Amino acid sequence: MKRKAVYAGTFDPITLGHIDLIERSRQLFDELVIAVTDNPSKAPFIPIEERISLIKETTKKLPNVSVKPFEGLLVDFVKKENSKIIVRGLREVTDFHAEFRQAIMNRKLAPEIETVFVMTNPKYFYISSSTVKEIALLGADVSGFVPKEVEAALKRKIKRK
């Protein structure tokens, strides 16, 4: 049986930390689905269609990775994908508290689904999508935080504003 995992997030925008986690996670599983969603408590900076396109572009050389949109409960999407594994990245202690609570809730909703935590590479632990957006909006260089395709997309988006 193939081990298929789902790594979900808003990826608004995808960062080098996300890419690192994707590259390392895909080595642990036969297949990795990157599930892209909107956070109902936040207005997206980059539309979901463009985020999916950017993620596909930055992961196109990774053979066992696919990118799909989803809405609703993550556990429902994971079941639909015939998976039993959710991958989550941990940067720091504050991530752990929120991710642990979410993993427990997912277990209550779907006991057959496991959450696997992957520690962020120390060189990326300070990077977050929120910080990248803020830095970009203030006109600073984000090339050290995001893939070049994402940097270009952010510049285009900010130029239009």
User: Residues 121, 22: contact at Cβ < 8 Å?
Assistant: no
The 10s digit of each residue's pLDDT in 53-110 is: 999 999 999 999 999 999 999 999 999 999 999 999 998 877 888 899 999 999 999 9
* CA–CA gap between residue 78 and residue 73 (Å, rounded): 9
Catalytic residue among 3, 42, 80, 148: 42
Catalytic residue among 18, 26, 51, 88: 18
42 carries an active-site annotation: yes
24 carries an active-site annotation: no
Query: pLDDT band at residue 161, thresholds of 50, 70 and 90?
Result: low
Catalytic residue among 4, 51, 88, 91: 91
The 10s digit of each residue's pLDDT in 45-64 is: 999 999 999 999 999 999 99
* CA–CA gap between residue 103 and residue 48 (Å, rounded): 24
Domains delineated in the chain: 4-125 (3.40.50.620)
Question: How far, in Å, are 13, 37, 39, 88, 113 from residue 145 at the CA level?
Answer: 10, 21, 21, 19, 32
Catalytic residue among 4, 25, 51, 129: 129
Average pLDDT value for residue range 10-21: 96
pTM of the full predicted structure? 0.93
155 carries an active-site annotation: no
Q: Kindly give, in sequence order, each residue whose CB lies less than 8 Å from that of residue 156, ignoring residues fewer than 6 positions away.
A: none
51 carries an active-site annotation: no
